[in-house]
Amino acid sequence: MLLRRYIGKRLADYYAQPSHRVVGAPPVGTIPFSSLWGAWHWRRVYRRAYEEQEGQWLTPVELFRPFYSNTLGNYIATTSKSQFPDCSNIHVIELGGGRATNANQILSHLQEK
């Protein structure tokens, strides 16, 4: 069997699982970054978040919620205003194998601004 076919089959089998097994649910609540005591404390919280996900991966959007998406939202708002001052609509498209968490949080942040 060709390597590309083997990889394609393995990916198809993986993504054919129920979505909760492929993409984990985000950790409960947000990580209280201001109360972390240093790098060692971050590593402990980070490890615990992964243990709660039973080995499923987490994206930066989920780990650094809402700060990661808010930063991207601020960049989109600033860039769009400077490059397209007459445009009143912004189209945000998120591509990937997740649940559109980042797009949802970016749009929520932009709506609040």
- Residue with the bigger pLDDT between 24 and 70: it is 70
Q: How far apart are CA 31 and CA 39, in angstroms?
A: 14
Q: Are 92 and 107 in contact (CB under 8 A)?
A: yes
- What is the Cα–Cα distance from 64 to 104, expressed in whole angstroms? 14
Q: With bands split at pLDDT 50, 70 and 90, how would you rate the model's confidence at 24? A: low
Separation between Cα atoms, residue 96 and residue 61, nearest integer Å: 12
pLDDT digits (tens, 9 = 90+) for 50-108: 787 766 677 888 888 889 999 999 999 998 888 888 877 878 788 877 778 899 999 99
62 touches 101 (CB < 8 A): yes
Element (H, E) at 70: helix 67-83
pLDDT for the residue numbered 21: 63
User: Residue 71: what pLDDT?
Assistant: 93
Please report the pLDDT score of residue 1 as a whole number. 72
The most confident of 2-6, 10-14, 104-108, by mean pLDDT:
104-108
pLDDT for res 14: 74
Judge contact between 66 and 109, C-beta under 8 A.
Answer: yes
User: Could you tell me which of 64, 44, 61, 58 has the C-alpha nearest to residue 104?
Assistant: 61
Instruction: Say what the pLDDT of residue 72 is.
Output: 93
Q: What angle do CA 16, 21, 23 make, to 5 degrees?
A: 95
